[in-house]
């Protein structure tokens, strides 16, 4: 009888401990945003043509943000991947350009909370981008590649706006390149000479605010529904850079639609999910 | 701190001229003329070499603009201006026409007849085809003969391996590139690689580094590799005529350095620069010679390459079904 009682007490004590562990443990959420967009693009690449090509494009963005650590909740990390594709025409519509771009960005921001409902993030990011532009009609210079990496200044403002029964989140994000490196060939050098004959002189350029300027404000609204938070927004990008006596520019206006959600992940031996988190794999 | 911030701001504002785009020409006769003239003035590579007074040509043709009536007349005016460059790599392309300068071969005997090479004396009707290569044995099976009519037509290493293997009992090879107007420099290099025992510098290329007529880079070596597995080291003759142009001209230049090769026929047509292209405001495309290529002695190859053995197609021989140039090559390969 005593043994049963003792066993019951021990079991009760252990289960109590377990419950306390679930209630007191803090977890970092990762905010994820996925957007698709339709764009209007104008682009000038003097290596391919002296004319400005204009047209439409589509893009996909995936962004995730997470606080730095449980012990430091004033800093957050950002990872972002962007894919773009565009089809552009010259002014006379006698020639077309296919445009593809892939960009990865990693950012770190410090959080400021000047007032209730307003969150300001200030910091920087590093990005690396690969672009491909093709004008099939061209002879021996049908393709130009954009390859660049940048350090950027970055800022985000978020404001929670109560609206009827919802809290809408307005977000304005802005970024501008400050310093980096870019690949820009000489106007008279063919890709045959550069990559078959291995002559890569004058293709490597340091970029700074002197020869590369851009800004890409993005305004979005998060609208929560029963189970999903939808995000709609507008993004404008303008970029101008110069090297080898050529000035390149790109202007793009995009309408974005997507979803945003917070998620938490468990995995491995040290980050096992507590018992009150149910997995379909159990 | 304020002082340095102001200086930095001033420096940034001072540099916008680094990123000023050149003014775009309007889509008018005048604007398109200026655009075309400027493209040639800043990017065409042979103005000094050919001693062309491009400023004078501007004056001659600019005065004709007011008399132009319609797109076709304007196209002809622009095409005639480009003809002053006397360059087969210079063309103006519109939706309705393509300007060209063909005197580099029209002013000379053709020295080729496809009717001749497909007679029973040479390829006949039952020749084999591997990729872009038409081939067969001639001269009682002693000579392997390949006719390759365009460096735009692909051929693989496997194709060439089969071809050369079929010629294993032949004492020599003829590669006929007469009337081959060019195409891919990659195929030119590939074809030449079968005839080199070791990687060899066979020429040079330069590119424009600025808008000046003589703003060029230092010469960059053009190398012909030795193919690692497919080799023909017996005698080979390359047959040429005035229509052997551009990539064919490059192939012939490479083969002048091949150990067992001779060039037989007429001087090649030239076309010794890699052409690039640009556009006019009205959407017309202009192709122009941009990166000049040189032989091993740093001589320009724009006006062609002389053969080792100069031979012309005899009309009498032609009437008798004999290709004088092939026969002379057969004799030289003994």
Q: How many domains does chain B have?
A: 1
Alpha-carbon distance of B237 to B252, in angstroms, equals 10
Q: Could you tell me if residue A5 is inside a domain? A: no
Q: How confident is the model at residue A266 (pLDDT cuts 50, 70, 90)?
A: confident
Q: pTM for this one?
A: 0.88
Region A210-229 average pLDDT = 94
Of the residues B183, B278, B282, B284, the best mutation for testing chain A's interface (the one with the most A CB atoms within 10 Å of its CB) is B278
Residue A2: the pLDDT is 67
Give A195→chain B minimum CA distance, Å.
12
The CATH code of the domain that includes A192 is 2.40.128.100
The residues near B202 (Cβ < 8 Å, ≥ 6 apart) are: B192, B222, B223, B224, B253, B254, B256, B257, B295, B296
pLDDT > 60? residue B5 = no
Of the residues B13, B19, B204, the best mutation for testing chain A's interface (the one with the most A CB atoms within 10 Å of its CB) is B19
Q: Are A232 and A197 in contact (CB under 8 A)?
A: no
Q: How confident is the model at residue B160 (pLDDT cuts 50, 70, 90)?
A: very high
Q: Could you tell me if residue B181 is inside a domain? A: yes
Contacts of B210 in chain A (CB under 8 A): 245
Residue B19: the pLDDT is 75
Q: Could you tell me if residue B121 is inside a domain? A: yes
Q: Could you tell me if residue B160 is inside a domain? A: yes
Alpha-carbon distance of B332 to B334, in angstroms, equals 6
Give B176→chain A minimum CA distance, Å.
26
| The 3-state secondary structure of chain B, one letter per residue | CHHHHHHHHHHHHHCHHHHCCCCCCCCCHHHHHHHHHHHHHHHCCCCCCCCCCHHHHHHHHHCCHHHCCCHHHHHHHHHHHHHCCCCCCCEEECCCCECCCCHHHHCCCCCCCHHHHCCCCCCCCCCEEECCEEEEEECCCCEEEEEECCECCCCCHHHHHHHHHHCCCCCEEEEECCCCCCECHHHHHHHHHCCCCCCEEEEEECCECCCCCCCECCCEEEEECCCCCCCCCCCEEEEECCCCECHHHHHHHHHCCCCCEEEEECCCCECCEEEEEEECCCCCEEEEEEEEEECCCCCECCCCCCCCEECCCCHHHHHCCCCHHHHHHHHHCC
Give B192→chain A minimum CA distance, Å.
16
pLDDT by residue (tens digit) across B267-311?
Answer: 999 999 999 999 999 999 999 999 999 999 999 999 999 999 999
pLDDT by residue (tens digit) across B83-128?
Answer: 999 999 999 999 999 999 999 999 999 999 999 999 999 999 999 9
Region A159-173 average pLDDT = 92
The mean-pLDDT minimum among A97-111, A158-172, B7-21 falls in B7-21
Contacts of A196 in chain B (CB under 8 A): 185-186
Residue appearing with tokens 């424009």:
B208
Region A226-234 average pLDDT = 93
Q: With CB atoms and an 8 Å threshold, state whether A190 touches B43.
A: no
Contacts of B21 in chain A (CB under 8 A): 44, 247, 249
B223: left (phi over 0), alpha (psi -120 to 50) or beta: beta
Q: With CB atoms and an 8 Å threshold, state whether A50 touches B291.
A: no
pLDDT > 90? residue A9 = no
Q: Could you tell me if residue A93 is inside a domain? A: yes
Q: Could you tell me if residue B180 is inside a domain? A: yes
**C-alpha dist (Å) from residue A264 to A32, A58, A267:** 10, 30, 10
ipTM exceeding the 0.90 mark: no
Q: Could you tell me if residue A7 is inside a domain? A: no
Q: Could you tell me if residue B126 is inside a domain? A: yes
Q: Kindly report the backbone phi and psi dihedral angles of residue B147, in degrees, each rounded to the nearest multiple of 5, phi listed first.
A: -105, 125
Chain B: which residues have CB within 8 Å of chain A?
A: 12, 15, 18-22, 24, 27, 35, 43, 45, 95, 185-186, 205, 207-211, 217, 220-223, 274-279, 281-285, 287, 290-291
Alpha-carbon distance of B323 to B120, in angstroms, equals 12
Percentage of the residues of chain A whose pLDDT score is greater than 70: 91
Residue A233: the pLDDT is 97
pLDDT > 80? residue B189 = yes
Contacts of B221 in chain A (CB under 8 A): 197
The CATH code of the domain that includes B318 is 3.90.226.10
Name the residue among B233, B234, B224, B306 with its Cα closest to residue B257: B224
Q: With CB atoms and an 8 Å threshold, state whether A189 touches B207.
A: yes
Q: Are B176 and B146 in contact (CB under 8 A)?
A: yes
pLDDT > 80? residue A3 = no
Q: Could you tell me if residue A155 is inside a domain? A: yes
Q: How many domains does chain A have?
A: 1
Residue B7: the pLDDT is 47
What angle, rounded to 10 degrees, do the helices at B71-83 and B29-43 form? 20
Q: With CB atoms and an 8 Å threshold, state whether B27 touches A199.
A: no
Give B88→chain A minimum CA distance, Å.
14
Percentage of the residues of chain B whose pLDDT score is greater than 70: 95
Q: Could you tell me if residue A192 is inside a domain? A: yes
Residue A176's domain comprises 30-263
Residue B128's domain comprises 106-195+232-270+305-332
Of the residues A89, A188, A190, the best mutation for testing chain B's interface (the one with the most B CB atoms within 10 Å of its CB) is A188
Q: Could you tell me if residue B280 is inside a domain? A: no
The residues near B10 (Cβ < 8 Å, ≥ 6 apart) are: none
Q: Could you tell me if residue B130 is inside a domain? A: yes
Q: Could you tell me if residue A238 is inside a domain? A: yes
Give B275→chain A minimum CA distance, Å.
7
Region B224-245 average pLDDT = 97
Q: Could you tell me if residue B263 is inside a domain? A: yes
Alpha-carbon distance of A134 to A132, in angstroms, equals 7
pLDDT by residue (tens digit) across A179-193?
Answer: 999 999 999 899 999
């Amino acid at each position: 009888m005593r043994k049963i009682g003792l066993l019951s007490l021990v079991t009760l004590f252990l289960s109590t401990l377990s419950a306390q562990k679930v209630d007191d443990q803090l977890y970092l959420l990762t905010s994820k945003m996925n957007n698709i967009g339709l764009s209007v693009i104008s682009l000038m690449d003097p290596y391919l043509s002296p004319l400005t090509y204009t047209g439409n494009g589509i893009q996909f963005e995936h962004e995730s943000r997470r606080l730095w650590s449980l012990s430091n909740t004033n800093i957050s990390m950002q990872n972002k991947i962007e894919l773009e594709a565009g089809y552009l025409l010259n002014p006379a519509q006698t020639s077309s350009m296919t445009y593809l771009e892939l960009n990865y960005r990693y950012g770190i921001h410090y959080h400021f909370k000047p007032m209730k409902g307003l969150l300001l993030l200030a910091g920087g990011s590093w990005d690396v981008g690969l672009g491909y532009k093709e004008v099939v009609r061209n002879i021996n210079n049908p393709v130009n590649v954009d390859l660049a990496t940048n350090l950027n200044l970055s800022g985000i403002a978020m404001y929670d706006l109560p609206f009827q029964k919802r809290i809408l989140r307005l977000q304005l994000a802005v970024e501008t390149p400050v310093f980096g490196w870019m690949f820009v060939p000489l106007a008279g050098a063919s890709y045959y000479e550069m990559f078959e004959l291995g002559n890569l002189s004058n293709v490597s350029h340091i970029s700074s605010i002197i020869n590369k300027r851009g800004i890409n404000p993005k305004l979005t609204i998060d609208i929560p529904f029963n189970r999903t938070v939808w995000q709609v927004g507008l993004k404008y990008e303008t970029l101008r850079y110069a090297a080898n006596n050529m000035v390149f520019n790109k202007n793009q206006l995009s309408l974005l639609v997507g979803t945003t959600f917070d998620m938490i992940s468990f995995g491995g031996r040290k980050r096992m999910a507590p018992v009150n988190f149910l997995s379909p794999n159990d | 701190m304020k002082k340095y911030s102001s200086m930095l701001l001033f420096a940034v504002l001072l540099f916008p001229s680094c990123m000023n785009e050149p003014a775009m020409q309007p889509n008018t006769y005048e604007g398109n003329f200026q655009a075309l003239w400027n493209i040639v003035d800043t990017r065409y590579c042979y103005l000094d070499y050919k001693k062309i007074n491009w400023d004078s040509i501007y004056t001659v043709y600019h005065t004709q603009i007011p008399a132009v009536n319609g797109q076709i007349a304007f196209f002809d005016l622009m095409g005639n201006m480009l003809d002053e460059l006397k360059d087969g790599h210079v063309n103006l392309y519109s939706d309705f026409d393509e300007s060209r300068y063909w005197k580099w071969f029209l002013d000379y005997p053709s020295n080729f007849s496809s009717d001749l090479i497909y007679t029973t004396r040479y390829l006949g009707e039952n020749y084999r085809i591997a990729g872009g290569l038409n081939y067969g044995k001639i001269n009682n099976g002693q000579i392997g003969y390949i006719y390759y009519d365009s460096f735009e037509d692909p051929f693989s290493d496997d194709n060439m391996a089969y071809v050369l293997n079929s010629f294993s009992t032949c004492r020599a090879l003829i590669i006929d590139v007469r009337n081959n107007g060019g195409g891919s420099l990659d195929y030119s290099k590939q074809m030449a690689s079968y005839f080199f025992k070791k990687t060899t510098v066979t020429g040079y290329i330069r590119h424009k580094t600025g808008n000046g007529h003589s703003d060029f880079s230092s010469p960059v070596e053009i190398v012909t590799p030795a193919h690692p597995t497919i080799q023909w080291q017996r005698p080979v003759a390359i047959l040429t005529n005035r229509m052997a142009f551009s990539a064919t001209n490059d192939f012939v230049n490479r083969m002048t350095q091949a150990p067992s090769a001779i060039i037989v026929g007429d001087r090649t047509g030239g076309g010794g620069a890699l052409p690039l292209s640009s556009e006019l405001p009205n959407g017309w495309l202009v192709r122009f010679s941009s990166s000049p290529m040189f032989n091993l002695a740093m001589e320009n190859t724009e006006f062609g390459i002389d053969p080792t053995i100069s031979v012309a197609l005899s009309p009498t021989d032609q009437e008798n079904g004999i290709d004088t140039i092939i026969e002379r090559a057969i004799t030289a390969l003994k």
